[in-house]
Amino acid sequence: MKKLIFNNNFFYKSLDNIISQRSDNYESKIANKVKKIIKNVKKNGDKALIDYTKKFDRINLTAKKLRLPKTIKKNNIDQKIFSNFKQAIVNIKKFHKLQFPKNYLLSDKGTTIKSVWTPLDSVGVYVPGGQAFYPSSLIMNVIPAKVAGVKRIVCVTPPSKNVNPYISALIKELGVDECYQIGGAQAIAALAYGTKTIKPVNKIFGPGNNYVALAKKQVFGKVGIDLIAGPSEIIVVADKKNNPNWVASDLLAQAEHDVNSQSILITDSNTFGNEVINKIHKLKLSLNKKNIINKSISSNGILIIVNNILQASEIINYLAPEHLHLHTEQKNKLVKYIKNAGCIFMGEYASEAFGDYIIGTNHVLPTFGSAKFASGLGVLDFMKRNSIAKINKSGYLKYRNQVMQMAEIEGLDAHKLSVKIRQNKQK
């Protein structure tokens, strides 16, 4: 874990060097490979999907077997655990219903304009698979789509000889009618351009590996996308009055996601910071993903020492982290200065894991500093706004001269003509 002292003349330069290295590590050199995959799927459809599934996943499928079976092996599901997912669905649905937008109308003499929100016709949801299955990602993407009123939701997930039973069960629980066992860039291409088996969608959601992220980037424009998701990241702000074990566990929770994940601790106590680092090394020994954690912490972990805990706000707004955890007693004061963060967790008991799973907030959040201009996934991402304008004769007479003058200034004679010609009703 690298240590930086805030207010050092070289602080931001040193910080940028660490951040850029992480970004460079994640920047893939596979863009051309992804481009070829997309082109192949676009041209050969189902055949390309079947070939890539055999090549990358080592599973033989036919066009008929691309669709995920609806049968669920209930014996493989712990009903107590599944009830936890059901509780999460209730909480997440409740929170996201509050986000549903209202239409609005403005009337003036001769003009009426209104804004109408409508759901997207169709969306695709990528559910990561392979080495890790994330049923929670399925929930987080499908629920706001359902709340928005999207009629067609298509799920894709990498194939497996033994399909994760919780994903299958949740697909049924959430009411998703279409799900296909394809993954990688080829799945994104299928959602964007369609095949004989899979009809294209309007927008694609969900996290994935480098191939998935780059594929989403390359098909953007043909379809909409949610965001380009990078590895997970967290900033924890804590003072010496906090429990170092608890703080260490929060940093470890992010580090276990990926070797490119980033865990940052900001504290006003060098002694406390060193104590947290010691706890990280002790706690990780019992964890399944300690090798990933080691690489993540050593490459991307940062301990930042500030003189005053409120100085953390400047660093936070500069980095715009995906997750922010305010352990400090000054959390209520500090949060007033925070502008850029995906989701803020307040208090020593507010482990970020609660947001990942059950309390109701969405865990699909902007990464790599994109919280400066983006928000976490919500209902509005699954909707679009239509503007409707009604103009009668009195409205025409009120604004005609202004419009013609403005069109003339811009050299758009046809615009001017379209207004002027309505001064009389002669054909």
What are the residue numbers of the active site?
322-323
CA separation for the pair 202, 223 (Å, rounded): 5
Q: Which residues contact 290 (CB under 8 A, 6 or more apart)?
A: 284
Find residue 385's DSSP bridge partners. Answer: 117
Residue identified by tokens 């499928």 is: 61
| Helix residue spans in 79-134 (DSSP H) | 79-97
Give the CA angle between residues 274, 254, 168 to the nearest 5°: 160
- For residue 351, give the nearest of 234, 268, 230 by alpha carbon: 234
Cβ distance 57 to 159 under 8 Å? yes
CA separation for the pair 40, 34 (Å, rounded): 10
Give the CA angle between residues 103, 105, 109 to the nearest 5°: 170
- For residue 36, give the nearest of 229, 222, 208, 218 by alpha carbon: 218
Cβ distance 382 to 124 under 8 Å? no
Give the CA angle between residues 131, 135, 139 to the nearest 5°: 145
Give the phi and the psi of residue 209 in degrees, each rounded to 5. Answer: -80, -170
- For residue 172, give the nearest of 70, 32, 68 by alpha carbon: 70
Give the CA angle between residues 28, 29, 31 to the nearest 5°: 90
Residue identified by tokens 């940062």 is: 302
CA separation for the pair 317, 320 (Å, rounded): 5
